[in-house]
Amino acid sequence: MPLPKDSSIRVRFAPSPTGHLHLGGARTALFNFLLARHYKGTLVLRIEDTDRERSTQESIAAILDGLSWLDLGWDEGPFYQTKRLDRYRELGHHLLEKGLAYRCDCTQERLESRREEALKKGLPPRYDGRCRERSVDPSSPHVIRFRTPENLAIVFDDLIRGTLSFDSGVLDDLIILRTDGMPTYNFAVVVDDIDMKITHVIRGDDHINNTPRQIPIFQALEAPLPDFAHLPMIYGPDRTRLSKRHGATSVMAYRDMGFLPQALVNYLVRLGWSHKDQEIFSREELVSYFDLDHVGSSPSVFNPEKLLWLNAHYLKNSPGEELVPLLREQLPPLTVPLPQSQDPAHWIRVADELKGRSKTLVELAQFAHPFLEHSRTIDPEARKKILTPENGGVLEQISLALRSLSQWTGESLRNAFSQVGEALHLKLGELAQPVRVAVTGRTVSPGIFEVLLLAGREVSLARIDEAVRLSQEPVSDIQESRNGKEDLHD
C-alpha cells in the first residue's frame, strides 16, 4: 500500500462488547495497530455497544484487558456508541429530510409474510419497498429505512482482495433507526467512521457483505470513502472456522494457560501476513515491516503446536528477572517456602535454569515448585518405575556420599556421583534418574547437579532419604486419596 511515512492514516478497532476478546478480534486489532504505527498514524478504539441486550460492562473490561495484555495501545478513545445516540438520530433525520430515507410502519408479521412469499418464488427475502412512497404518520410507531439506490453497481477496491462489485438490486432498504431511536450497526458504523475521519477500515471478511450496504450511506452523507481491507478468516486445524471446539479462542485464556503476550502477538501476525521467510519478530521489526501488501487473501489455519513452539522460544530467551513476576502469578501460594525462596536472586536462578525446558509459564511453575516449596508431588508413574527397591539401594549410597561433602558445589557433587558410580559400576544417567525423581518428583529436569544446587543440601538429602523409604514400600501402598499422587513433606 503506497502510503508515505508521514501519512495522516487513521484506523480503528471497533469490537462489540458481547464477550471476551477472541483471537480473530485480537488479530484485527493487531493489524490496525501495526499499520497505524508503521505509517505514524492514529488508532481509534471504538466500542460498538448499541446491542443493549448482549453488551455488558464485563465484556468491555475483558476487551480492554486483552488489548492491554497484548500491549496494543490506542491513540484516541475508547468511544462508546451509546454516548453518540443524538448524532445518529441527527443524521438519520437529515437523510429523511433529503428524501434519502423514509419512514416505515410495516409490522413484523407483515415483514415475515412478505419474506416467506419471496422465498417461495425463489426471490431474495428482502424488504419489498412498500413504504418507499407512502406517507407514514411520524407520531405512529415506525422505523427509518435508508433508500438504497436501485440498479447501481457498487464497486470498491479491497486492499487485500482486489476489485469487488455488488449489485444494489439485491440489497434491502436497510433500517438505519429503529422504533426506539437506536441506530442499526451499518448506519452507526458509517457515521462513526465519518466523524472520526477513518481513512482505512481493516476488519474480518465476515464483514465483507456489509461494505456494499455502507458505501451508499457514505455517499448519501457526501463523505469520502475510506479504503477497505477485509482480512481472511482464521480456520481451525480441520479447516472450518475457528471456534471453541478447536480449543480456547479467548485471548486471556492463553494468558491463563501460561503464554507470553509477545509470543501470541508474533503468532497472530503470521496468520495471514509474512515478511520473506522470517518467523520471529521483535515489536520494533513488526512496526517497521508491516504493511497490507503482504497480507494474503486465503484463510489461515490455527496451529496450536506452532504457537507452543513460539512460546517456548520466547520463554527461553526471556531474562529470568522478567519471568519471575509471571512465575509468581502461576504458582499457588507457598505454604512452607524453602529458606532460599526468600532471596530474589534464587527466584531468578530458578527461572533461568528451568525456562529452557518449559513451553508455557504453567509448565515453568510446575518445574519450579519443588525448588521453592518444601512439599513436592512425585509423579505416580515415576514412583512406580524409578523408585524401585534396587534404586533404593542406589539412593542410599548416594545419600551417604553426599552427606560426607564439606561443600555443596557443582564440582563436589560431580565427584561424589563419580565415586558412587565407580563403586556400583553405574553410569551417571543411572544414578541421576532416581535422584531426579527423589528431589523433583519428575523424570525431566535440568542437569542433576543443577537440581541439587537449586534444592539445596538439606532439602535434597531429606527428599532422597524419603525416596529410599518409599522404594521399600509395595506400590499398592501408594496413597490413593489424591488420584494416585502423593504429597511428600520434609
Separation CA 187–CA 177 (nearest Å):
8
- CA angle (178, 179, 185) in 5-degree steps: 10
CA distances (Å), 451 to each of 150, 325, 346, 366, 426, in order? 76, 22, 13, 14, 20
How long a stretch of residues is the chain? 490
d(CA 231, CA 161): 9
Q: What is the rounded distance in angstroms from the CA atom of residue 25 to the CA atom of residue 19?
A: 11
Name every residue whose Cβ is closer than 8 Å to that of residue 203 and which is 6 or more positions away in sequence: 14, 28, 229, 230, 231
Sheet holding 175-177, edge to edge: 101-104, 143-146, 175-177
- Cα separation, 338 vs 97, in Å, equals 77
- CB of 464 within 8 A of CB of 470? no
Residue 170's nearest CA partner among 209, 202, 201, 198 is: 209
Q: Which long-range contacts (CB under 8 A, 24 or more apart) does 317-325 make?
A: 318/260, 318/355, 319/352, 320/347, 320/348, 320/349, 320/350, 320/351, 320/352, 320/355, 321/348, 321/351, 323/351, 323/355, 323/361, 323/364, 324/348, 324/351
Kindly name the residue from 98, 244, 316, 384 that is annotated as catalytic: 244
Residue 446 has φ and ψ, to the nearest 5°, of: -65, -175
User: Is residue 244 flagged as an active site residue?
Assistant: yes
| Dihedral sign, Cα of residue 363, residue 368, residue 374, residue 380 | positive
- Give the strand pairing for 234-235 and 300-301: parallel
Adjacent-strand bridge partners of 31: none
So which residues are the catalytic ones? 244
